[in-house]
Structure 1
Amino acid sequence: MEGLLFQQIGAFALPLVTKAVEKFIEPKIKTLSEMTGEKLQIAKHVFVNTFEKTLLYSYKKHSVLNTIVFNNQQKLLKDLYIPLTIKTSSTIEETIDDRCSAYIKRVKKVLITDTAGMGKSTIMKKIFLSTVEMENGIPVMVELRRLGKDKLILDEILEQLNTVKKPTNKALVLELIEKGDFVFLLDGYDEISLRDKAIVTKNIQDFISKANNNCFVIASRPEGALASFGDFLKYTILPLRKEQSYELLRKYNDYGELAERLIAKIKERENDSIDEFLINPLLTSLLYNAFEHKQTIPFKKHIFYRQVFDAFFDTHDISKGDSYVRDKISEIDSDDFHKMLRYMGFYCMKRSRIEFNKDELLNIISEAKTFSAISHVQPNLFLKDLLISVPLFVLDGIYFKWAHRSIQEYFAAQFIYIDAKSQQKEILLKLVQNPAIEKHLNVLDLYYSIDFKSFRKIVVKSLIEEYLFFSSSQYRDNVIADELRTERIHLCFEKEFLIFVTDNAVDHTSVKSGVPSKLRGDKKEFIIRQNVLKGGGIWILYVHHYRHWLMSMLYGKGHPLVLHPYIKKSASPTENEKLMCRSRIRYDMPKDIYFPINDKKEMPFNFPDNFDDTNKLIKLAFYSNEHYRINISEADKILKEIQDEISLEDKTNFLLDGL
């Protein structure tokens, strides 16, 4: 960190940190000392000092932003931060400001999910600072991407506390955690490697269960596996309002003339593509960066990211005058640099990793060099460029990481488009049909922008064909009204449901954990939101199919194939209970067995008298805004257009005629 800035923060923070340790740590150690005797009493001073040093270091670290806009130069968070607002599905809103830790302390378990660049990690930093400043506990930030089968959550916490001279007393740390007053900020659940996700998730759940006198905040992009944390209050981040976006641009320019010119240009040409940038804090900041380099506004997302790359590659060193451009230590041009980064972006996407130690990253650079046939580049010099001349990576302790994951995803999408032509179709379908498709939604979104024609020909065509097959093959033998059959097909096309009927009093946890492994398969955690009868009842569990995530992305792009109907249902538990009481399903279904909801006509949930009630019970199981459906009137038309395009391209002389 820059020495002077770090020192200034330290001078401000030291009294706050000392007060927090005196309030939350020292009394506990004193109590433990009295219980265990003189040996711990002797270690008390050293241990308190360790906690104080660790908390002070962390406070300094989280007080600054290594923002890509300023070539990863450090800026004070308070100078650039625009208060963000988080919101539950039931419209509860909380502003993440200087006092936000009071709310976290009251709620205790908070899950913040949103898409790339919406400010999740910045919010975590703000909660950390507020917790110290408001004396609401001892905050501990855990970067979840660093956890794996060989490094669990407690190992990471102890590593933060260990000093060079002496490791921290593990038993004492566990005692302190058990007594409470910690706020554990678990950032980047979506960045845990897929290989280790099940192990790490179980470890986090066990830790939360055993350390339940503390507060926990998890931040992540949306993932089905987050259903594991069903007792957390789930929030999303509200998009920036226009005035907030403009204020952020002004802050980046220190209220200068460039920001005003950019704002004036935005107002001249208001449209949906620019609005997509302005609602997102990261994209708003990168828009400033791109405009600073080239006084134009890009209207497509991939052009926007390319302009950001060009801005970094051609950046001027302001400290040496506007005419000075940093030489690239690796001595390669912009196109070759871009080519190397495309391979690295794709490699990181496949491995679900954005952070590496030095040796790992040098090996990836060497692979990129070989694949790209750029023989003269030296990996160690290219790495220096990535940190200094074209700062798309940052050094965080002993780790090297992409400045932001969305930058890595842009290069991954470009690799699929430019470098993987022969396997483009297979790669896109593997990403789309992957059980962990949520991890790749931003790559798919960027590819949609880069190569809409191929995306339509491969991904959209596949989705329509799947729907047509599904709708023509399901519930054909059931004697039911067409309207009810169509409704069930729409519901089951994007989600997989289980039904569990019991006369026993059971809770959510036991119902979820009881799902047999043969039904769970490689699916993520099943979700339960069903109101049930006291003393037993009907439970509906569900998991999102990969088609749900794809349809949500297409809907967000305004694609006519997908509709997003709001499902109206009774908010009254009494009405819901009446439905379950009157339904014959409760009596007709075998008890205490999990059944997939499918089209087998012999199943009681498909009996003609039960079919409508089953549809209603299914709709009770998820939030009203969680459902997408295929626009039947558009599907055939879009498929024909795509088939006509393919037919034209397949003509032997399509490209040669006229040459």
Structure 2
Amino acid sequence: MDINNTEIVTKVATGLIEDAIKCSWEKVKKWFKDIDAKDSVRYGDAYEQYLDNTYRKYSKIKTIIYRRSPRNLYDFYECIGVRYEGKTIDTSTINNLLEIGKKIIITGTGGTGKSILFKHLYLDTIMSTGYIPVMIELRSFNSFEIKSGAIEETIYNTLVENGFPLEREYYEYSMREGGYVILLDGFDELNRDKSTRLSSEIKSLSDKYRENCYLISSRPSEQFIGWNDFLETETKPLSKQQAISLVDKIDFDESVKAIFCKELENVLFDKYKSFSENPLLLNIMLLTFNNNAAIPDKLNDFYDQAFATLFNMHDATKDAYVRDIRTQLGCDDFKLVFSYICFKSYFYSEYEFTEMRMREYISMAKEKYSQFRFTVDEFLDDLVSSVCMIIKDGLHYHFAHRSFQEYFAAWYTCKLTDNIQSKLLSNWLKESDTVITDLYFNMLFNMQSEKVNKIVFAPILGQIKKKYTDLGFTIVFLKSLFHGVILKTYRHDGGMRKSLSLAIKDKQKCYTLKLTCILNGYGFPPANAEAEEKVFDSFKKNGIVMGETVPFDTALKYVSDNNLLEALKWFDNQIAFIVSILERNKESGIGQKKKVSSILDEL
């Protein structure tokens, strides 16, 4: 299915959104009972003010290229589709999404444009529906304790603070009636200690007021497995035509754009597909191409060059340098200090900061690298105004994109001793819930693959191998790693494929195993579909519901050991793969050799 960007451009070019705001109350007042004429006029004016305020907020954004002054979203917006059950859904209007369900999760990796998509969906709700739109940036919950009813209260406060002071009874009635499209952006930006509680709050709210429409954006996460009422979709990558269209819309040197678009068409898009399919990385590609007339092959080299480009960047729309580094640090020194801030904040799971917290991180880095003479004010100003790695949003600060934090955290990790890396990362694998979906390990592996395999993965893989050797591929072995099995379905070859997944118990071992497979190129061959379907049907026949974790002892009431193990044979194959990686990466000590040549022979 083609994505209808023409429809979006037409709406904006003709000013239809502004017109829709002026007559918006007529479309939504049906959600409020017993409003008399006087209150209707008052609320109508207030609702128009609410939409006008939020329209101004969400219709303009800053990007890597437009770093100093916000631009109209639709001047350069390229509509991305989302995939659901093998089909592409056109997101040019939110109605296409609401046709598939009222509770939707939209997942996508970093830089795929989820937040910009949500801004577009907010604006299109005004234009194309009779719902009241509410946007909540979930990272705001990192700043305070999450109490019962926190989401419901935040929705109400968002309405009031933006000019729509509903009386409580009207608010609750309209929520019960289903008058809202509630957009919850950035579930993956929640701190670890917040995400479980907020997950419960979201599910509770959507059960209490189930007539409303709920859309959630996030990087992919195992946490969504138990969200049985929510449909999970994923953003589609840019096509070659969309990538060229996006570049063409950017306000940038026309001669550079023309050459870059021609190169995209002929070579660059296919050669650097993982970059050019991603809107954020495509923007950075344009900047680095302008600066270097070439694109690095590796992701970590790409980010390194991107930082150097941004550090030394011209304003995209002016023929003059605007950079003024107040700290007087060179690119490499600034990168070192910034990477320490990224490293510390990444492992503290902090992506957004109050000004006080931002200053604390800079002070820590200043103390760590006391040989550099700069003030906290100077470094903060450079981060926001010159290098633009950090964006100031109201009273808070956040990274221009989380992938920069992950890259520089990985870069700094490489500077640590093997012993510290081993201790830090083995514990991180035990504590973190995002190691699979974050880019951190991917980037670290690109920088030092042998070291990651040897000093981080191998000791944990050795523990898995020992259990496997002692117990074999048995239910007892599986119980040591997993709580049980989970029923899932996905679209495959035009039909629905029944499958089994495993509910993680030992995070450290399971995440290590999965990362070892992913980063070392395991092909993840198809499972035994017939065996899985047989077990799946037995569970369904006995009342097991989709997404529910079935403990192994319960599972064995409905199927035999052999049948269950045969259905999970795909995991046995993964064990064989990680054992082969372990054998290749056993620590080999260097003996007390006297000659350099003999030491080199062992390296």
**One fold, TM greater than 0.5?**
yes
Give how far 1:165 is off: 9.6
- In structure 2, the partner of 1:180 is 178
- In structure 2, the partner of 1:121 is 115
Note the residue ranges of structure 2 that are not aligned, 5 or more in a row.
1-11, 491-498, 543-548
- In structure 1, the partner of 2:23 is 19
Q: CA RMSD in A?
A: 3.9
- Could you say if the C-alpha distance between residues 379 and 85 of structure 1 is closer, same or farther in structure 2, counting changes exceeding 3 Å? same
- Which of 69, 73, 80 lines up with 2:76 in the alignment? 80
* 1:404 corresponds to 2:355: no
Give how far 1:367 is off: 1.7
Give how far 1:187 is off: 1.0
Letter in 2 for 1:57: N
- Could you say if the C-alpha distance between residues 579 and 361 of structure 1 is closer, same or farther in structure 2, counting changes exceeding 3 Å? closer
* 1:639 corresponds to 2:598: no
Give how far 1:143 is off: 0.7
Please give the residue correspondences for 1:280-295 in structure 2 after superposition, counting only pairs within 5 Å.
280-295=278-293
User: For the Cα contact (< 8 Å) 1:85–1:93, is it kept in 2?
Assistant: yes
Letter in 2 for 1:496: F
Please give the residue correspondences for 1:248-397 in structure 2 after superposition, counting only pairs within 5 Å.
248-252=246-250, 256-263=254-261, 274-317=272-315, 321-322=319-320, 324-374=321-371, 376-397=373-394
- Which of 444, 448, 451 lines up with 2:445 in the alignment? 448
Measure the CA separation in 2 of the matches of 1:83 and 1:68: 18
Give how far 1:272 is off: 8.3
Give how far 1:468 is off: 2.0
Q: Deviations over 1:335-388 (max 9, x none)?
A: 232122112212221232211222221222212211222553221222222221
Measure the CA separation in 2 of the matches of 1:633 and 1:138: 52
Give how far 1:281 is off: 2.1
- In structure 2, the partner of 1:496 is 482
User: For the Cα contact (< 8 Å) 1:278–1:284, is it kept in 2?
Assistant: yes
User: For the Cα contact (< 8 Å) 2:406–2:438, is it kept in 1?
Assistant: no
- In structure 2, the partner of 1:429 is 426
Measure the CA separation in 1 of the matches of 2:254 and 2:591: 52
- Could you say if the C-alpha distance between residues 318 and 236 of structure 1 is closer, same or farther in structure 2, counting changes exceeding 3 Å? closer
Q: Deviations over 1:52-85 (max 9, x none)?
A: 2222222233223311133254233323233322
Report SS of the residue matched to 1:196. helix
Report SS of the residue matched to 1:339. helix
- Could you say if the C-alpha distance between residues 10 and 354 of structure 1 is closer, same or farther in structure 2, counting changes exceeding 3 Å? farther
User: For the Cα contact (< 8 Å) 1:563–1:630, is it kept in 2?
Assistant: no
User: For the Cα contact (< 8 Å) 2:531–2:563, is it kept in 1?
Assistant: no
Measure the CA separation in 2 of the matches of 1:13 and 1:404: 29
- Could you say if the C-alpha distance between residues 234 and 440 of structure 1 is closer, same or farther in structure 2, counting changes exceeding 3 Å? closer
- In structure 2, the partner of 1:92 is 87
- In structure 1, the partner of 2:6 is none
Measure the CA separation in 2 of the matches of 1:245 and 1:554: 32
Measure the CA separation in 1 of the matches of 2:102 and 2:389: 36
Measure the CA separation in 2 of the matches of 1:649 and 1:85: 58
Report SS of the residue matched to 1:448. helix
Give how far 1:408 is off: 1.2
Measure the CA separation in 2 of the matches of 1:337 and 1:629: 46
Give how far 1:101 is off: 2.7
Measure the CA separation in 2 of the matches of 1:134 and 1:367: 49
- Could you say if the C-alpha distance between residues 125 and 610 of structure 1 is closer, same or farther in structure 2, counting changes exceeding 3 Å? same
Give how far 1:100 is off: 3.3
Question: What is the TM-score of this pair, normalised by structure 1?
Answer: 0.76
Report SS of the residue matched to 2:424. helix
* 1:213 corresponds to 2:211: yes
- Which of 583, 597, 617 lines up with 2:552 in the alignment? 597
Aligned residues: 569
Measure the CA separation in 1 of the matches of 2:460 and 2:73: 43
Give how far 1:456 is off: 2.3
Measure the CA separation in 2 of the matches of 1:574 and 1:554: 30
Report SS of the residue matched to 2:323. coil
Measure the CA separation in 1 of the matches of 2:577 and 2:192: 38
Q: Please tell me whether Structure 1 or Structure 2 has the larger radius of gyration of its CA atoms.
A: 1
Measure the CA separation in 1 of the matches of 2:501 and 2:250: 47
Measure the CA separation in 1 of the matches of 2:371 and 2:425: 27
Measure the CA separation in 1 of the matches of 2:382 and 2:340: 16
- In structure 2, the partner of 1:32 is 34
User: For the Cα contact (< 8 Å) 1:105–1:215, is it kept in 2?
Assistant: no
* 1:415 corresponds to 2:412: yes
- In structure 2, the partner of 1:612 is 562
Report SS of the residue matched to 2:302. helix
Measure the CA separation in 1 of the matches of 2:61 and 2:436: 25
- Could you say if the C-alpha distance between residues 380 and 228 of structure 1 is closer, same or farther in structure 2, counting changes exceeding 3 Å? farther
User: For the Cα contact (< 8 Å) 1:149–1:200, is it kept in 2?
Assistant: no
Give how far 1:231 is off: 1.1
* 1:564 corresponds to 2:524: yes
Report SS of the residue matched to 2:386. coil
* 1:71 corresponds to 2:67: yes
Give how far 1:472 is off: 0.5
Give how far 1:215 is off: 0.3
User: For the Cα contact (< 8 Å) 1:115–1:222, is it kept in 2?
Assistant: yes
Report SS of the residue matched to 1:290. helix
Report SS of the residue matched to 1:69. coil
Give how far 1:304 is off: 0.9
Measure the CA separation in 1 of the matches of 2:436 and 2:53: 32
Measure the CA separation in 1 of the matches of 2:572 and 2:339: 33
Note the residue ranges of structure 1 that are not aligned, 5 or more in a row.
1-7, 35-40, 476-484, 500-526, 532-538, 587-593, 620-625
- Could you say if the C-alpha distance between residues 128 and 108 of structure 1 is closer, same or farther in structure 2, counting changes exceeding 3 Å? same
Give how far 1:166 is off: 10
Q: Deviations over 1:496-553 (max 9, x none)?
A: 2437xxxxxxxxxxxxxxxxxxxxxxxxxxx55499xxxxxxx988424645555555
Measure the CA separation in 2 of the matches of 1:192 and 1:143: 10
Report SS of the residue matched to 1:112. strand
User: For the Cα contact (< 8 Å) 1:101–1:136, is it kept in 2?
Assistant: no
- Could you say if the C-alpha distance between residues 639 and 419 of structure 1 is closer, same or farther in structure 2, counting changes exceeding 3 Å? closer
Give how far 1:142 is off: 0.8
Give how far 1:329 is off: 2.3
User: For the Cα contact (< 8 Å) 1:253–1:259, is it kept in 2?
Assistant: no
Measure the CA separation in 1 of the matches of 2:410 and 2:240: 29
- In structure 1, the partner of 2:503 is 543
Report SS of the residue matched to 2:215. strand
Report SS of the residue matched to 1:454. helix
User: For the Cα contact (< 8 Å) 2:113–2:279, is it kept in 1?
Assistant: yes
User: For the Cα contact (< 8 Å) 1:245–1:278, is it kept in 2?
Assistant: yes
- Could you say if the C-alpha distance between residues 541 and 456 of structure 1 is closer, same or farther in structure 2, counting changes exceeding 3 Å? closer
Give how far 1:217 is off: 0.7
- In structure 2, the partner of 1:504 is none
- Which of 115, 118, 125 lines up with 1:131 in the alignment? 125
User: For the Cα contact (< 8 Å) 1:345–1:412, is it kept in 2?
Assistant: yes
Letter in 1 for 2:78: I
